[in-house]
Every structure is written in structure tokens, then in C-alpha cells.
């Protein structure tokens, strides 16, 4: 932590992320305190300028822009963090198996990883988003709920976002498994699962943390792109991406509808990348 805080860009990113997280957690109390709501329509106040009643103005149907930014922060940050964690778990599992088992298992898992990396990312996500989950036998009520839509977005992005972690974990596992304490554990009769979880995983967790932190920003950008194309988070549930999508036709008359969510995306992605870079420096054992 001391090393991280001595890196000014990382400290700045951490402060911004703490502020964004605090705003997201306090979105509902703040809306109640300010007397605003993210879903209340007021057709008589369309595209209203900033005022005491609407600190950032309103959108094309009279909804308060500040309230939607606060609610959108909950959705965008939840998708970014949840997807990064799911992708990190998948990548860690694949990397540990490939690095420890070696041989045919390693070859098959790494060719699978290379195949996913070779696929064009955004077109693949668009195709996956366009697939109707109801045809897979999933309950229609769950799919129509806000939570179902968020879960669908998390799963779709995580399916293609685990490859970087997998390659990093495999490389670290290949390095660590040749150490004497791994051979000693095998000689004492420890099974593969115990060796991977108890001995290998704690020694390869540093690159996982860095890669997961760096991936959050990219995931938020991907969610924003999908929502911008109408394939991600669906209205009326706000996210920064679908707020940008809704502002597309109003750039000339009301540019601030796009500026505010774009600024939030920019700050969040920049902050996660700065923190990830700082973690990479602070967790490097070669740095004093």
C-alpha cells in the first residue's frame, strides 16, 4: 500500500475510484436528499438547463440527468467489477490447469485460448448479444428483469475476457512449479488440487490482481459500446453507455447529454488503468 500511494498517478486513480464508488453506493440517498429521481418523466421539462431543481439539467424526456448518472454509476461499476472477477476466475482456472498439468492438457487449453484471442472481439460480442436466450430454455421472466439483463451482459463479456489472465497465470505457474517446495509437497503425497490451490495460487495471485484491475476499464468500455448499439443494458435501467446512445441524436442541440456520461466513462477507465499500473509497480518484487 505504501508503494502504491507513493506513485502519484496511482494515488490519484485510487482517490477517484473511491469517490465514484461512494457516489454509486449513496445514489439512492443522494437522490432522496436532492429530491430527484432517475426514472420520473417530466415532458414539460424536456432538455431543461441546469437549475436548483435539476443540478445538471434534464434529458430528452425530462428525466434528471444527475440522478441518471448516479444510477448509471451503479450499473456500469457493477458490470465492470463483476465481469472482471468472473473472467479472472475462469482465466485463473485455465492457467493453473495448463501450467501445472502440462502436456496435452496445456496444449488443448492454450489452443483454446489462442482461438478466443484470434476472434474479432466487438463483432463476436454483438453476435452473442443478439442471440435470444429464451431459445436456450431460460425463463422469460428472468431475462426481462433488470438483474437478468445485467447477468447476461456479464456472462457475454466474461466469455471472451479471460484469456489475458489465463496466459499470465500459466506463465507464472510454469515458473513456480519447478521450485523445491512444490516438489516437496508432491513427495509428501499432496494431490494436484491441493498443490494448485494451497501452493501455486498464492504465488501467482499478483499478476491476476494487476490484470483484473486493468481489465475493468476495458470491460466498462465494452459495456458502453454494446449499450450504445442497443445490445447491452436496456432502458429504462440507466448505464453510462445507454445514456450516450440516447444522446446520439441530440449532440447538436444538447451536447451535455453526451458529455457527462462520456466524462464519467473516461474518468473511470483512466483511474482503473492508473491503479493497475501502480499495482504492477508496487507488487513487483524487484522494486525496493
Write the DSSP string, 18-53.
HHHHHHHHTHHHHHHHHT--SS---GGGTTPPP-SS
| Interval 276-287 mean pLDDT | 70
Q: pLDDT confidence of 94, banded at 50, 70, 90?
A: very high
User: Whole-prediction pTM value?
Assistant: 0.79
| Interval 116-143 mean pLDDT | 71
Residue among 75, 112, 73 nearest 91 (CA): 112
Pull the grid cell for residue 211: 490484470
Point out the least confidently predicted range of 18-27, 57-66, 142-151, 153-162.
142-151
Residue 200 and residue 193 in contact, taking contact as beta carbons nearer than 8 Å: no
The pLDDT, as a whole number, for residue 93 is 92
Residue among 177, 163, 166 nearest 98 (CA): 166
Q: What is the mean pLDDT of the chain?
A: 82
Say whether pLDDT at 108 is over 90: yes
Say whether pLDDT at 23 is over 80: yes
Tell me: the pLDDT tens digits for 235-258? 677 888 778 777 777 777 778 888
Any idea where the domains of the chain sit in the sequence?
A: 68-282
| Interval 160-174 mean pLDDT | 89
Taking the CB of residue 279, how many other CB atoms lie within 10 A of it?
23
Backbone angles phi and psi of 64, in degrees to 5: -70, 125
| Interval 33-58 mean pLDDT | 80
DSSP alpha helix (H) spans, the chain: 2-5, 8-25, 27-34, 65-101, 103-118, 121-130, 140-144, 146-158, 163-176, 180-187, 192-194, 201-228, 240-246, 256-282
Say whether pLDDT at 156 is over 70: yes
| Interval 113-134 mean pLDDT | 78
The pLDDT, as a whole number, for residue 27 is 86
Give dist(CA 44, CA 201) in Å, integer.
58
The pLDDT, as a whole number, for residue 185 is 84
Intra-chain end-to-end CA distance of the chain, in Å: 13
> Which CATH superfamily does the domain covering 68-282 fall into?
MetI-like (1.10.3720.10)
Amino acid at each position: 500500500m505504501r508503494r502504491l500511494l507513493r506513485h502519484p498517478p496511482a494515488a490519484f486513480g485510487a482517490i477517484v475510484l473511491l469517490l465514484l464508488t461512494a457516489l454509486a453506493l449513496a445514489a439512492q440517498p443522494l437522490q432522496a436528499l436532492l429530491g430527484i429521481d432517475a426514472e420520473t418523466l417530466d415532458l414539460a421539462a424536456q432538455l431543461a438547463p441546469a437549475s436548483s431543481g435539476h443540478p445538471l439539467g434534464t434529458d430528452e424526456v425530462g428525466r434528471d440527468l444527475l440522478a441518471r448518472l448516479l444510477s448509471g454509476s451503479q450499473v456500469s461499476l457493477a458490470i465492470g467489477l463483476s465481469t472482471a472477477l468472473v473472467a479472472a476466475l475462469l482465466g485463473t482456472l485455465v492457467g493453473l490447469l495448463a501450467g501445472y498439468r502440462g502436456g496435452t492438457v496445456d496444449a488443448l487449453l492454450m489452443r483454446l485460448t489462442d482461438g478466443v484471442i484470434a476472434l474479432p472481439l466487438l463483432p463476436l460480442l454483438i453476435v452473442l448479444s443478439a442471440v435470444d436466450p429464451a431459445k436456450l430454455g431460460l425463463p422469460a421472466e428472468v431475462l426481462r428483469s433488470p438483474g437478468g439483463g445485467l447477468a447476461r451482459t456479464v456472462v457475454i463479456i466474461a466469455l471472451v475476457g479471460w484469456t489475458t489472465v489465463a496466459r499470465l497465470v500459466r506463465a507464472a505457474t510454469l515458473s513456480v512449479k519447478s521450485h523445491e517446495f512444490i516438489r516437496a509437497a508432491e513427495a509428501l503425497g499432496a494431490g494436484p488440487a491441493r498443490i494448485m490451490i494451497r501452493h501455486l495460487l498464492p504465488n501467482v495471485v499478483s499478476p491476476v490482481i494487476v490484470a483484473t484491475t486493468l481489465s475493468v476499464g476495458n470491460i466498462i468500455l465494452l459495456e458502453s459500446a454494446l449499450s450504445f448499439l442497443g445490445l447491452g443494458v436496456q432502458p429504462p435501467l440507466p448505464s453510462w453507455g445507454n445514456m450516450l446512445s440516447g444522446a446520439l441524436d441530440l449532440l447538436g442541440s444538447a451536447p451535455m447529454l453526451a458529455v457527462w456520461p462520456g466524462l464519467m466513462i473516461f474518468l473511470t477507465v483512466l483511474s482503473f488503468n492508473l491503479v493497475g499500473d501502480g499495482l504492477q509497480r508496487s507488487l513487483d518484487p524487484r522494486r525496493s
